[in-house]
Structure 1
Amino acid sequence: MRMLIFFAVVLGVVGGIHLYLWRRLVVATTRPGTRGRRLGGLAVLALALSVPVTLALARGGRAWTAWAAVWIALMFYLLVALLLAEVPVALALRRSRRPAPPPDRSTTDAAGTDTPTADTPTTDTAAADLQRRLLLRRGAAIVAGLTAAGVTGHGIRTALGPPRLDRVQVPLDRLPRRMDGFRIALVSDIHLGPLSGRAHTTRIVAALNRLDADAVAIVGDLVDGTVEELGRAAEPLRDLRSRHGTFFVTGNHEFYSGAAPWLAELPRLGVRVLANERLAVDGLDLAGVHDVAGAEQDAGFAPDFGRTFAGRDPARPVVLLAHQPVQAYEAARHGVDLQLSGHTHGGQMVPFNLAVRLQQPVVSGLGEVDGTRVYVTDGAGFWGPPVRVGAPPEVALVQLRSTA
């Protein structure tokens, strides 16, 4: 039911956006009854229908579905550009409107009485006004189209490019002095799929190995497809190197893709799955919980903080791997020192980072929730359109510092 409501809302929003685009890109730039207006209307209708079709076929689909999703990004930035143009275009239209020629003050009827006349613009004036409106609206449409195409093109290049490195130092009060400088290579939201295959994994593995970390953490959303579809693309994970190993927790997309087969496959690749469990890594506890989406599929996949932290020594610092930053509220109640998360993509496309703030307590970088520090990586992949604007792909090196 929740998914049906979600898709109904999405379809309503998409329909409204395309109606606006039709009015500004077609109706406002063409004359009534022309072939251009009819063809433009059909094109906008086809693009509107492509959005739900693309979303429905994207999971486990082929590369063409990912490229088709580019229209979603282009659609959004067209909308933004056209909305920003509304006020200046309206002012330009108002200034350019020619006043009608002054009417005769009166005419004389048969009885010799003066009668006022109507202020009616001439046909030539109306035609000139229409032409000016068409020129201004066409100019605005061209500028909006070029702007949207430029932003989207830059976003595609960014999304498909190499991940940047973010370094952060996090002081932990309970961290033993001998562990000062402990380094965790962090990655999230790799999103292996139609466009992000084996080469994508190989590039990320190389970036993580260059960090020479004490541990590697993959905090969910590794895949957008089944083991059968993406098993080969995930194989380079076996080449990850660190002193204490590689650790993984589920994200919501693992549950969309079939979590159980992946939880069986990853240990074969040398990746330790932390499924609501905790283990000792030198002088700290490293813990991991399932994503909140697991509870919707099976009670056994629900995040279980009570089980994860049962019998914990409160004197030892705890680093928790949890896909969504919102899980930090529960983590804080269990005395977690640091939570490492992903999920947000840093918003992926500005200004969606503002919308993410309505759902997650931390969108990107280092924050704090009820006394628990939370570091959120922007992720190394993308979901939906292969576009990133204002939030480039990222891997992170989290260095723990002792305050003792």
Structure 2
Amino acid sequence: MRRVILIILDSFGIGGAADAADFGDEGANTLATIARDCLARNSILAVPHMMALGLGQAAQAVTGHMPAGLPAREPVTGLWGAAREISRGKDTPSGHWEIAGLPVPFDWGYFPKTRPAFSPALTDAIIAAGNLAGILGNCHASGTEIIAQLGEEHIRSGKPVIYTSADSVIQIAAHETYFGLQRLYDLCTKIRILVDPLNIGRVIARPFIGENAANFERTGNRRDYAVPPPRPTLLNVVEAAGRKTYAVGKISDIFAGSGITHALKAHGNEALVDATLAAMDKAQDGDLIFTNLVDFDSLYGHRRDSAGYGAALEAFDRRLPELRAKMQQGDLLILTADHGCDPAWPGSDHTRECVPVLIAGAGAGTIGIRDSFADIGKSVAAYLGYENALAGQSFLGGGHHA
């Protein structure tokens, strides 16, 4: 039995990216910021199970020092390392595609940091396509903040809140009841077509509920309309071999459904871990479970909430023994990330960082600092024994599948 459970701790960077200065992120370090915040509150970042997999060693390898505020080093029982990103962006699709063996060598399209952010032609086309009275926002913004600012006007006017960020993205926030969830999805589908010529990576539906700014809340009915990967990824390799891919969380959206045999949705990290455990009950020999834990990024990184991020890491670490206990002989559990999102960094955008690569089920040792996230996908394919043309170099031995 060989299965792989690949879990993305969305935005859990550990600093040290050689090209961080090119992105204005020199010195950014998500882990170090969170650990330092714990220390300032006379505590430590209680993640003993990740430390036992080599988190501290990986962090030290990329920066030359152990972040202050981490617990004492545990005896390392896992295979540990770190990886650099070679894709040209620090966005979600680029990070995930590269992890799955497909680096992104081209530049996505982005919207300028002006107000308005969208051209009059695009704005007019959106209004016409959606039969709208107009739009609100039309700027770079944090999703929760702009809903608080414009949500009540949205309810009164019926105009959706449309905004962007430093990512290649256009986001549409609308009330599930007053605007309608299906109407929001239909609008996003139309906008997806409109922004294809601009090479925008994702159109994201951001539904919310509540009656006023004091109680507006985004729901779990988010949906990403992404550009499909231009070439096969790890998911396609597994599917082509006749095995199953369980995409937990927003993985199916990020890959536009390509190579996905089972899409499992859930809202919040705890529910996503539960869904991963449920997939482990179903997955068979040669299958891949690919999970994204989005709360680290969306609830804490972008909101620059160090304390909340730390608490979420500790909560996930407490679930690791459940995941380990459900592993069967031959299973691998891989923990990594797709970019950073340093809670102490100016603004609300992702940060260019190296990411940890922590592996349970492959013995103890180190894989060093990998030159590309793609080494992860290449290694998974090699471990499962699948012939492939993925980018990267494997750090794992091969399996037994044709």
TM-score > 0.5 by shorter chain:
no
TM-score, normalised to structure 2, is: 0.30
- In our comparison, the structure showing a higher alpha carbon Rg is 1
**Higher RCO structure, 1 or 2 (CA under 8 Å, sep 6+):** 2
Structure 1 or 2: more helix by fraction: 1
